[in-house]
């Protein structure tokens, strides 16, 4: 069966319905994660600058300190959440082919995977496994 | 030749062959557009370094031998160049990001203020990169 053509313009179909009420969520979360990343990344950079040539034992001791473990896990969560949202905007702006949706899904899933991998590595060190 | 093309498909074909505006090859770069693009570019670059961060943590979790290999890669001349690029990308994205957050509150959107904050971003991110590397190499001695 051939569908009858919709005899209304896109504007005509959308007008009067209001916004979808959800569009602002990604924009907002990108800002919230950005605000979280300002102190977290500054802490991380300052820590790395202070530990440029330390050996394995000193690095492990640093990461095992409770505050360091907490901040590292928070950094990984905020970082990969921000990364997923930011890269999605970049893909949506520049990829206009059929690759757009697979690219967005791949980036989102990779961000989940990398965040979990980073958190597990941090916790393995912190808990001594 | 063009007469054989149906009318419905020939119109977009003509449209795509027309020059686009702004014409990027002859467009004089401004601080505003350069920083806008740099913010995106450094964001994408930093995503790659985020993967390296996870690899580095995983190397530490794997044990002293793997961590030593990871550290030797980071401490190599090429590794240090990549780390310097990472430091500058980070500070530029951080400063530029704070500028964006300021704009989101509705402040500093006048043309003059945009150029002032733009140059502040360039100056502060360059300065912070230099300071962190000077401090880092001094502490390493």
* CATH classification of the domain holding B67: 1.20.1300.10
A101 Cα to chain B: minimum distance (Å)? 18
- Residue A66 Cα to chain centre, angstroms: 24
Instruction: Work out the mean pLDDT of chain A and round it to a whole number.
Output: 91
Q: How far is CA A32 from CA A29, A62, A73, A79, A99, in A?
A: 5, 28, 17, 11, 29
Q: Which regions of chain B are under pLDDT 70?
A: 1-16, 18-24
Instruction: With respect to residue B4, please indicate whether it lies within any of the assigned structural domains.
Output: no
Q: pLDDT band at residue A31, thresholds of 50, 70 and 90?
A: very high
d(CA B139, CA B136): 5
Buried b (16+ CB within 10 A) or exposed e, A70-98: ebbbbbbbbbbbbbbbbbbebbeeeeeee
Q: What sections of B29-76 are H helices per DSSP?
A: 31-62, 64-75
Residue A12, pLDDT score: 80
- Among chain A, residues having any CB pair with chain B shorter than 8 Å are 31, 34-35, 38, 41-42, 45, 48-50, 52-53, 56, 59-60, 63, 72, 76, 79-80, 83, 86-87, 90, 114, 117-118, 120-122, 124-125
B75: containing domain: 30-140
Among A30-39, A44-53, A55-64, the minimum mean pLDDT is found in: A44-53
Instruction: With respect to residue B96, please indicate whether it lies within any of the assigned structural domains.
Output: yes
- Domain count along chain B: 1
- Residue A105: helix, strand or coil by DSSP? helix
d(CA B95, CA B121): 5
A17 Cα to chain B: minimum distance (Å)? 27
Instruction: With respect to residue B67, please indicate whether it lies within any of the assigned structural domains.
Output: yes
Q: pLDDT band at residue A15, thresholds of 50, 70 and 90?
A: confident
Buried b (16+ CB within 10 A) or exposed e, B15-38: eeeeeeeeeeeeeeeeeeeebeeb
- pTM for the full predicted model: 0.84
pLDDT surpasses 80 at A91: yes
Domains defined along chain A, listed by start: 28-127 (1.20.1300.10)
A45, A50, A121 member nearest B58 (Cβ): A121
B141 Cα to chain A: minimum distance (Å)? 9
Widest CA span of chain A, in angstroms? 71
Instruction: With respect to residue B84, please indicate whether it lies within any of the assigned structural domains.
Output: yes
Instruction: With respect to residue B41, please indicate whether it lies within any of the assigned structural domains.
Output: yes
CB atoms < 10 A from the CB of A34, how many? 20
A41, A86, A124 member nearest B94 (Cβ): A41
Please report the residues numbered 46 through 85 in chain B whose beta carbons come closer than 8 angstroms to any beta carbon of chain A: 46-47, 50-51, 53-54, 57-58, 60-61, 64, 67-68, 75
Instruction: With respect to residue B25, please indicate whether it lies within any of the assigned structural domains.
Output: no
Residue range A94-109: average pLDDT?
Answer: 95
Checking A89-94 for CB contacts under 8 A at 24+ apart, the result is A89/A26, A89/A30, A90/B40, A90/B43, A90/B44
Alpha-carbon torsion, ordered B59, B64, B70, B73, to 10 deg? 180
CB atoms < 10 A from the CB of B127, how many? 12
Instruction: With respect to residue B108, please indicate whether it lies within any of the assigned structural domains.
Output: yes
Instruction: With respect to residue B1, please indicate whether it lies within any of the assigned structural domains.
Output: no
Inter-chain touch B53–A59, beta carbons under 8 Å: no
């Amino acid at each position: 069966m051939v569908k009858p053509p919709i005899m209304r313009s896109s504007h005509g179909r959308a007008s009067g319905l209001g916004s979808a009420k959800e569009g602002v969520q990604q924009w907002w979360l990108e800002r919230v994660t950005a605000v979280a990343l300002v102190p977290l990344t500054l802490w991380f950079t300052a820590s790395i600058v202070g530990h440029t040539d330390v050996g394995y034992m000193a690095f492990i001791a640093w990461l095992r300190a409770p505050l360091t473990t907490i901040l590292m896990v928070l950094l990984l969560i905020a970082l990969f959440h921000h990364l997923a949202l930011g890269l999605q905007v970049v893909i949506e702006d520049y990829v206009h082919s059929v690759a757009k949706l697979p690219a967005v899904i791949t980036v989102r899933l990779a961000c989940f995977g990398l965040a979990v991998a980073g958190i597990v590595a941090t916790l393995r060190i912190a808990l001594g496994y | 030749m063009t007469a054989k093309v149906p009318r419905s498909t020939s119109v977009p074909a003509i449209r795509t062959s027309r020059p686009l505006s702004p014409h990027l090859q002859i467009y004089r770069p401004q601080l505003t557009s350069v920083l806008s693009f740099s913010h995106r570019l450094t964001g994408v670059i930093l995503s790659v370094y985020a993967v390296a961060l996870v690899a580095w943590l995983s190397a530490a979790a794997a044990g002293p031998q793997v961590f030593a290999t990871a550290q030797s890669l980071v401490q190599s001349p090429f590794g240090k160049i990549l780390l310097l690029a990472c430091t500058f990308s980070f500070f530029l994205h951080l400063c530029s990001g704070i500028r964006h957050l300021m704009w989101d509150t509705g402040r500093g959107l006048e043309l003059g203020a945009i150029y002032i904050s733009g140059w502040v971003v360039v100056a502060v991110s360059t300065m912070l990169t230099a300071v962190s590397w000077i401090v880092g190499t001094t502490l390493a001695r």
